[in-house]
Amino acid sequence: MDLFFEFLTTLKNTVVDVLPILSIILGFQLLVIRKPIPHLKQVGFGFVYVLIGLALFLLGLEKALFPLGKMMAEQLTAPEFIHAGEQVLTSIHWLDYKWVYVFAAAIGFSTTIAEPSLIAVAIKAEEVSGGAINANSLRIAVAIGVAVGIALGSYRIVVGHPMHYYIIGGYVIVVIQTFYCPKLIVPLAYDSGGVTTSTVTVPLVAALGLGLASTIPGRSPLIDGFGLIAFASLFPIIAVMAYAQITKAKARKVEEKVEEKAKEKVEK
Amino acid sequence: MLFSMPHQLILFLKALLGSCKDLLPIILVIAFFQFAVLQQPMPNVGDILVGLSLVVLGLTFFIYGLEMGLFPIGESMAQAFAKKGSISWLLTFAFCLGFGTTVAEPSLIAVAKEAAIVAASGGIITDTLESQLSYANGLRFTVAFAVGFAIVMGVLRILRGWPIQYLILGGYVVVVLMTMLAPSWIIGIAYDSGGVTTSTITVPLVTALGVGLASAIKGRNPMIDGFGLIAFASLTPMIFVMIYGMVIS
């Protein structure tokens, strides 16, 4: 019964969050477009499903994943775990934090796979590309990007390098890739940077970043605690373009083989 | 009608199974770290199981509603605006959609609050509740304005058919230049603010709007011109928040 009331509270909060969007849509539909919404009943039910779905999703995350994930981030970054037995901390070595990097990558990958907004964009991309872009492959490519990004971002917090070197370095890679990868993928790749970090990923990643920055001597949460999300939005762009480049290279190889065989046939 | 119920049920079960698959990686990761690395028993197994089933159900409902409601409304509005032919109304709608969905975004509110607390303890702003609130609100409105501006830019790009790469890469150059000029305490927050703006409901709506516009306008390719709105929405907040930091200090 408690659970049901918690659900109602979450549902109410979700509805409140959605109200601005809903009023903008309705306002423009009624006052500017001045036409009834096509398939009104279906769209209305769709909205209700989205609201119920989001409320259930958030409640479940709060109940199961966030407490556990945040606790893990704290435990893995805690000095007792990293420097078990050592009483006096003379210096920190980046390898002491190896489990943090593994956790960062694993949690980045797995939360991205479950990210609803990425699912939405992937479905749309598969539909628009007529199946040339596979929704699941796209999601895996993005998830790999997030995994690499968050692991690298954690490493940066541990060693204390300035963040903008990494971000600017990442931009340089994006610029180079943009000129070499298939043109069709470029906008989608840029988009995938923004969609990765929402409901599931942000709270866990923020906990990891703040945990690291507040336990490592010499790091300030103000300067070092933020920034992990930026890594998580940059590296998926690189990963998606790389995915397109690899697919293209593979397709070319298959084409070459087919051509070779055709030539052989002609020669015979 | 006779077949519709079991058919619907099978579709629903299939969707549920898909959501389970989406969630499986998280379960494996958490279990591995809990048992193998931290070597602790799983706390509140009952709660976790209930929570996980809620997440699976929620994801399934969300995806159902996405294809029934969010995608169609985004696309039909895009088509209606394209038919109406009024660019100024379309741009107004674009700005409202960006600004309105961001200013109330819970994760942005949370991040702004957090940033205000950290800034107060770092002595950037005076340590009173009032100045924290005004700092957090300033941050929120800056980001919301940036996202509104971004959707307007993105829609203009679709209308005109400008290639996205020059705009985005140009934006990167601005980000890099601003990084050198802005105070160092704002940079992390600025970079992060690009990521937190795009919520679960905004993304499908904005994507459908872009794809719908690109399909409704002659000579635009939905794949090349339709995507990219979200890219703008994650780029401009970085620039605007760094400006905000410069103004404040």
DSSP per residue, B141-183 = HHHHHHHHHHHHHHHHHHHHT--HHHHHHHHHHHHHHHHHHS-
Looking at residue B178, its pLDDT comes to 92
Q: Which residue of A has its CA nearest to B104?
A: A17
Taking only the tens place, the pLDDT of each residue in A209-218 is 878 888 887 7
C-beta separation of A138 from A125 below 8 A:
yes
Burial class (CB in 10 A: 0-12, 13-18, 19+), A145: buried
Indicate yes or no: CB of A106 within 8 angstroms of CB of B33.
Answer: yes
CB nearest A111 (choices: B26, B81, B168): B26
B42: tokens are: 């799983």
Taking only the tens place, the pLDDT of each residue in B51-78 is 999 999 999 999 989 989 999 999 999 9
Helix axes A66-77, B4-32, angle to 10 degrees: 20
Q: How far apart are CA B168 and CA B181, in angstroms?
A: 20
B73: tokens are: 């409304």
Torsional sign, CA A233, A235, A241, A247: negative
Phi, psi dihedrals of residue B197, rounded to the nearest 5°: -75, -25
Q: Which of B168, B249, B143, B156 is nearest to B210 (CA)?
A: B156
Taking only the tens place, the pLDDT of each residue in B152-191 is 999 999 999 999 999 999 998 999 899 899 988 888 888 8
> Measured between beta carbons, which residues in chain A are less than 8 angstroms from residue B224?
183-184, 186-187
DSSP secondary structure letter of residue B69: I
CB nearest A33 (choices: B34, B77, B227): B77
Q: How far apart are CA A67 and CA A71, in angstroms?
A: 6
DSSP secondary structure letter of residue B123: T
Q: Which of residues 141-180 of B touch A (CB under 8 A)?
A: 164-165, 168-169, 172, 175-176, 179
Looking at residue A189, its pLDDT comes to 95
Indicate yes or no: CB of B197 within 8 angstroms of CB of A194.
Answer: yes
Taking only the tens place, the pLDDT of each residue in B114-131 is 788 878 877 777 778 888
Looking at residue A190, its pLDDT comes to 93
Indicate yes or no: CB of B65 within 8 angstroms of CB of A53.
Answer: yes
Q: What is the ipTM of this complex?
A: 0.87
- The C-alpha of A145 sits at a distance from chain B's nearest C-alpha, in angstroms, of 14
Contact status of B204 with chain A (Cβ, < 8 Å): yes
C-beta separation of B209 from B201 below 8 A:
no
- The C-alpha of A194 sits at a distance from chain B's nearest C-alpha, in angstroms, of 6
Q: How far apart are CA A192 and CA A239, in angstroms?
A: 10
User: What mean pLDDT, rounded, does chain B reach?
Assistant: 88
Indicate yes or no: CB of B68 within 8 angstroms of CB of A49.
Answer: yes
Q: Does B2 have pLDDT greater than 50?
A: no
Residues 6+ apart with CB under 8 A from B92: none
Q: How far is CA A211 from CA A87, A215, B190, in A?
A: 20, 6, 20
Taking only the tens place, the pLDDT of each residue in A114-144 is 999 899 999 999 999 988 899 999 999 999 9
Determine what percent of chain B falls in helix, strand and coil, rounding each to the nearest 5.
Answer: 85, 0, 15
Looking at residue A137, its pLDDT comes to 94
Residues 6+ apart with CB under 8 A from B208: A124, B70, B71, B72, B73, B74, B75, B78
Q: How far apart are CA B194 and CA B168, in angstroms?
A: 13
> Measured between beta carbons, which residues in chain B are less than 8 angstroms from residue A175?
169, 172
**SS3 labels along chain A:** CHHHHHHHHHHHHHHHHHHHHHHHHHHHHHHHHCCCCCCHHHHHHHHHHHHHHHHHHHHHHHHHHHHHHHHHHHHHHCHHHHCCCCCCCCCCCHHHHHHHHHHHHHHHHHHHHCCHHHHHHHHHHHHHCCCCCCHHHHHHHHHHHHHHHHHHHHHHHHHCCCHHHHHHHHHHHHHHHHHHCCHHHHHHHHHHHHHCCCCCHHHHHHHHHHHHHHHCCCCCHHHHHCCHHHHHHHHHHHHHHHHHHHHHHHHHHHHHHHHHHHHHHHHC
Taking only the tens place, the pLDDT of each residue in B14-30 is 889 999 999 999 989 98
Contact status of B129 with chain A (Cβ, < 8 Å): no
> Measured between beta carbons, which residues in chain B are less than 8 angstroms from residue A163?
187-188, 191
